[in-house]
Chain A
Amino acid sequence: MALALENVSKHFGSLVAIRNLSLSFDVGSIYSIIGPNGAGKSTVVNMIAGSYSVTSGTIRLGATALNRLPKHRIAQLGVSRTYQNLRLFDGMTVLENLEVCFFPQSWLTFLTGAKRLSKAERLDICHACLAEFHLSDVADVLAGDLPYGRQKILELARAFVTQAPIVLLDEPAAGLNHTETKDMAAMIAGLKREDRAIILVEHDMDMVMSISDRIDVLNYGELLCSGTPDLVRTNERVQEAYLGTTEELDDIRKLAQSRRAQGGLRANAGIVRH
């Protein structure tokens, strides 16, 4: 199964967030969408998941056009996602957070037309998933009581528990420390499978470069470059978009040096540590 964006545009009023974007994602790989702030990365994820409507163009999953379907239908067809800011059901246990994903496969199947799962089957799947994500020990803990890093992992587990063929991960490493980010990267890399496409939106370049099969770089809503990590790393236009032109870069370096010479700029100035 493949997910394809065909000439997709998204306007917010007069602002063009995405312009004529065409991308295709096949199962069996990990894709990363990167770009400077405001490039339209999250907009792409939100359009695929059905949170945003598409101004023009088509998003297809296999032969089905997704962009006219309600959000829950898109999810039922096999698109699952995580969120930029944690959005777990804090007042429910870790196990319940996964269990509720199987509501469309419960006794209400006469409405959804989905394959029915018994309670025992549902619980088996959830427990297996908890074990896979090393969450078994906290199965009965309220999700909101977990430490931040484990909440991130639980949200990851929730996106994978239904075996959706398309999984969208919106900044899985946001807010994680260095070690946790490395673990997260290893975990996502381990989730790569033949029948699944993982689409990652992420700022952490180490993570993106180490686990992606293909990287799509967006800038001002347009595709700047697309290819393997090595190709993207060496692409001049990408470096410009991220770091500015070489002259601008030199200016910034000089400025920083002069500040340091005055002793006015501490390395951590402006960073609040909690």
Chain B
Amino acid sequence: MGNSVIVRRLGLLAVLALCVVLLALVPYLPSYYVRVADSILVYIILAVGLNLVVGYAGLLDLGFIAFYAVGAYAYALLASGQFDIHLPFIVVLFIGAAAGAIAGVLLGFPVLKLRGDYLAIVTLSFGEIIRIAINNADDLTNGPQGIAGLDRASLFGLPLTSPVHFYWLLLVLTVIVCAGVYYMERSILGKAWRALREDQDVVRGLGINTTTLKLLAFALSAAIGGAGGVIFGAFQRFVSPESFTFQESLLVVLIIIIGGVGNIVGVIAGAVVLVILPEILHFAAQYRLLIYGVVLVTVIVLRPGGLVSPRFNLGFIIRKVRTLWLSPSKT
């Protein structure tokens, strides 16, 4: 074993250690930064979820935030004084994910025959319909006033009250979601989705029921969105239709496009950039949207494939680490 291998292994260890230390240090930052970190993690979860539909299956869904709303309102209705139902957080987390999946299938059925632009328009409308329905269902949701005073969440006896608590929860959930999606991507299901993205007719000609395939993508992605919504509700302890506008759907789609479609590492990078950017631009409040727009256009013009190259994905990183560790001679 040569010296260079040891150096490279140490380098790798150092990079990994640095990542862990940075992630572990976040809770010690001032509360504002922890909130930003929470926000980044929420958007990573949402974008990785939406990426199943947009990135892998190739179906542009512009109404994704509706599933997030379904999850958030699941918590608001099942863990608050609204109907005096107080289910534990973990139970609502699963209910929210299931409700999201059901909503995903309900959306999926009518839109399955549509492709491209038409699909985008119908999903966009779906997102708006959910928001407007919530806005008008006064008896159920208090309409525009929203539902306040949601239960303080706790998980296995540990309280979830401060941004730091949610940081850890979200971090664990992000890792679980990313690992799950990565596993799916590598499974034959992920391959079938990618094939679907390339040529739907040929996929059918191979004996694959594309309806099932698309519904699975919609349901799984919506379940992740629903789970994210439950956490959002528990964190804010207040929900109103305001939080689920088209802009939010757009932001999640932009995270995927800016980061790198179909690439988990890209999606993470996209979430970091698009959540931090508006925060940095606080000082120029009135030009914020303008600068935001210029940055987006610049990225799309200069790197149309996204900030992160498709080659630099989770599989690539894992392979790199594995070969360096198990058979360094090959690297």
Contacts and interface: CB of A to CB of B under 8 A. Distances in A.
A203 interface: no
A104 B212 contact: no
Top 8 nearest A-B pairs (CB, nearest first) are: A75-B207, A76-B207, A103-B192, A71-B204, A89-B198, A106-B188, A100-B195, A100-B191
A73 to B, nearest CB: 8
A112 interface: yes
Nearest to B212: A111
B205 to A, nearest CB: 6
A220 interface: no
A7 interface: no
B208 A72 contact: yes
B301 interface: no
Nearest to A111: B212
B135 interface: no
A209 to B, nearest CB: 29
Contacts of B210: 72
A257 to B, nearest CB: 47
B198 A103 contact: no
Contacts of A71: 201, 204-205
Nearest to B201: A51
A91 interface: yes
Contacts of A158: 206
Contacts of B191: 92, 96, 99-100, 103
Contacts of B139: none
8 contacts: A72-B209, A87-B201, A92-B191, A100-B192, A103-B188, A103-B207, A107-B188, A108-B212
Interface string B150-192: 0000000000000000000000000000000000000011011
Interface of B: 188-189, 191-192, 194-195, 198-199, 201-210, 212
Contacts of A75: 204-208
B201 A103 contact: no
Contact of B209 (A80, A99, A111): A111
B207 A89 contact: no
Size category of the A interface is 20 to 34
Given A89-B195, A108-B189, 10 more contacts: A51-B201, A75-B205, A75-B207, A91-B198, A92-B195, A100-B188, A102-B188, A106-B188, A108-B212, A158-B206
Interface of A: 49, 51, 70-73, 75-76, 80-81, 83, 87, 89-92, 96, 99-104, 106-108, 111-112, 119, 122, 158, 162
Contacts of A104: 206-209
A101 B206 contact: yes
Contacts of A92: 191, 194-195, 198
Given A106-B189, A111-B212, A87 B207 contact: no
B261 to A, nearest CB: 11
Nearest to A168: B205
A101 B205 CA distance: 9
Nearest to B209: A72
B33 to A, nearest CB: 39
Contacts of A106: 188-189
Contacts of B205: 49, 51, 71-72, 75, 80-81
A96 B199 CA distance: 14
Contacts of B188: 99-100, 102-103, 106-107, 119, 122
A73 B210 CA distance: 11
A90 B197 CA distance: 11
A91 B194 contact: yes
Contacts of B202: 83, 87, 89
Contacts of A80: 205-206
Contacts of A100: 188, 191-192, 195, 203, 206, 208
A92 B202 CA distance: 14
B198 A112 contact: no
Contact of A112 (B192, B201, B209): B209
A137 B225 CA distance: 42
A182 B198 CA distance: 31
A158 to B, nearest CB: 8
A191 to B, nearest CB: 18
Nearest to B262: A91
A253 B51 CA distance: 62
A223 B191 CA distance: 41
A51 B200 CA distance: 12
B198 A90 contact: yes
B43 to A, nearest CB: 26
**Most chain B beta-carbon contacts within 10 A, residue among A83, A101, A119:** A101
A112 to B, nearest CB: 7
A51 B205 CA distance: 8
B304 to A, nearest CB: 15
A91 B262 CA distance: 12
Given A111-B209, A112-B209, A72 B192 contact: no
